[in-house]
Chain A
Amino acid sequence: MVSYIVYSIMILILPLLLMGFLQKIKAKLQNRIGAPLLQPFFNVLKLWNKTQILSEDASFLFRFGILLNFCIATYLILSVPWLNFSPMIMGLDLFLLVYLLAAARFFNILSALDTGSPFGAFSGSREAALSFLVEPSLVLCLLAPGLLINSNVMSEMFAFKTAVNSDNPAVWIFASLGLFITALVELSRMPVDDPNTHLELTMVHEAMIIEASGRNLALCEYSYALKLTLFFGLSVQCFLHAVSAFLPSNEWLTLFFSVIGMFFLAAVLAMLETVLVKLKWTKCPDFIAYALTMGMFACIVALRGRT
Chain B
Amino acid sequence: MIFTLLILSSAIMAVLMVGTGQVRSNIIFYSFQTLLIALTTCVFAYVENEHKHYILALVIFIVKTMGLSLFLLWLTKRIGTARDTGTFLPHPLAMHLSVLLLIFAQILSCQLPHLSKLEDFSAGGTAGISLILTGILFMLTRRLAISQVLGFLTMENGIFLFALTQASGMPLFVEMGIFLDVFVAVMISGLLIFRIKHSFEHIDVTLLTSLKD
Contact = CB atoms under 8 A, between A and B. Distances in A.
A304 interface: yes
A292 B5 CA distance: 20
Interface in A251-307: 285-286, 288-290, 292-293, 296-297, 300, 304
A289 B19 contact: yes
B32 to A, nearest CB: 15
Given A292-B92, A297-B12, 19 more contacts: A170-B8, A285-B92, A286-B19, A286-B91, A288-B92, A289-B92, A289-B95, A290-B19, A290-B95, A292-B96, A293-B96, A293-B99, A296-B96, A296-B99, A297-B99, A300-B99, A300-B102, A300-B103, A300-B106
Interface of A: 170, 285-286, 288-290, 292-293, 296-297, 300, 304
Interface in B126-172: none
Contacts of A289: 19, 91-92, 95-96
Interface of B: 5, 8, 12, 15-16, 19-21, 91-92, 95-96, 99, 102-103, 106
A286 B92 CA distance: 5
A100 to B, nearest CB: 27
29 contacts: A170-B8, A285-B92, A286-B19, A286-B20, A286-B21, A286-B91, A286-B92, A288-B92, A289-B19, A289-B91, A289-B92, A289-B95, A289-B96, A290-B16, A290-B19, A292-B92, A292-B96, A293-B15, A293-B16, A293-B19, A293-B95, A296-B96, A296-B99, A297-B12, A297-B99, A300-B99, A300-B102, A300-B106, A304-B106
A170 B2 CA distance: 11
A235 B175 CA distance: 43
Contacts of A297: 12, 99
B102 to A, nearest CB: 7
A225 B157 CA distance: 46
A171 to B, nearest CB: 12
Contacts of A285: 92
Contacts of A288: 92
Interface residues of B, dominant DSSP: helix
A103 B180 CA distance: 59
A293 B5 CA distance: 17
Nearest to A288: B92
A300 B8 CA distance: 12
B75 to A, nearest CB: 23
B114 to A, nearest CB: 18
B83 to A, nearest CB: 10
A39 B78 CA distance: 48
B5 A170 contact: yes
| Top 3 A-B residue pairs of the complex, sorted by shortest distance between their CB atoms | A289-B92, A296-B99, A286-B92
B93 to A, nearest CB: 8
Contacts of A286: 19-21, 91-92
A170 B5 CA distance: 8
Contacts of B21: 286
Nearest to A283: B21
B13 to A, nearest CB: 12
Nearest to B18: A293
A20 to B, nearest CB: 33
Contacts of B106: 300, 304
B18 to A, nearest CB: 9
Nearest to B102: A300
A277 B95 CA distance: 23
Nearest to A304: B106
A289 B90 CA distance: 11
A209 to B, nearest CB: 30
A300 B16 CA distance: 15
A170 B1 CA distance: 11
A293 B20 CA distance: 12
Contacts of A293: 15-16, 19, 95-96, 99
A168 to B, nearest CB: 11
Nearest to A169: B5
Contacts of B99: 293, 296-297, 300
Contacts of B12: 297
A58 B106 CA distance: 56
A249 to B, nearest CB: 22
Nearest to A295: B99
Nearest to B4: A170
A289 B92 CA distance: 5
B166 to A, nearest CB: 19
Contacts of B91: 286, 289
